[in-house]
Amino acid sequence: MSAEKSGKFDFERFLRKAFKHPLDWLASRLLKLGITPNHITLFGLVGNIGAAVLIALGYLSWGGLVAGLMAPLDAVDGAMARLKGETSKFGAFLDSVIDRYDELFLFGGLIVYFYNEANFVGILLTFLAATGAVMVSYTRARAEGLGLDAKTGILTRIERSIVLIIGLLFSKPIYSVGIIAVLANVTAIQRICHVWQQTKAD
């Protein structure tokens, strides 16, 4: 499934390798039940929508807990696809698209929460965080569509998820969106510069 690298150290790959055995165990059990990787992907979307609703209603810790439970599912569906021995272009496409929806629903829940709290700074930071998150993904997708590499950057999707979930669990989302607002946009700029370096000779 989708994997974004952060510089020389790929944190997502490290986590997948560290938790390979429990992931494979769970994936094999789900496959035996007739569940497909796409089912898990869509279940994660439903769960994150539920988390977003909890966040919007002000239940930040509960929303963070639900989002935290949904986060590993991206690795589970990838393990299922690997164990199945089937590579599906649509499955990979669906996974990437749902990843974006997952993140944006959570940010949407936070915007509603900050609006209800009359917290203009929170709304602005959440908007900037969502913008950065989208641009990190878009710069990579656009670069790869041109046959270029754009896997660099300091705050990729899995790191954003961890930062956001921690802030929610401690009911301090303003710090999470502040960090993401800055570092996600820095990551997008890093990718733009990285692509520019590859095209300077054109």
Catalytic residues: 99
Unique residue bearing structure tokens 């977003």:
52
Contact 51, 41 (CB under 8 A): no
DSSP code per residue over 131-154: HHHHHHHHHHHHHHHTT------S
CA distance 134 to 185: 9
Return the structure tokens found at 92. Answer: 């990979």
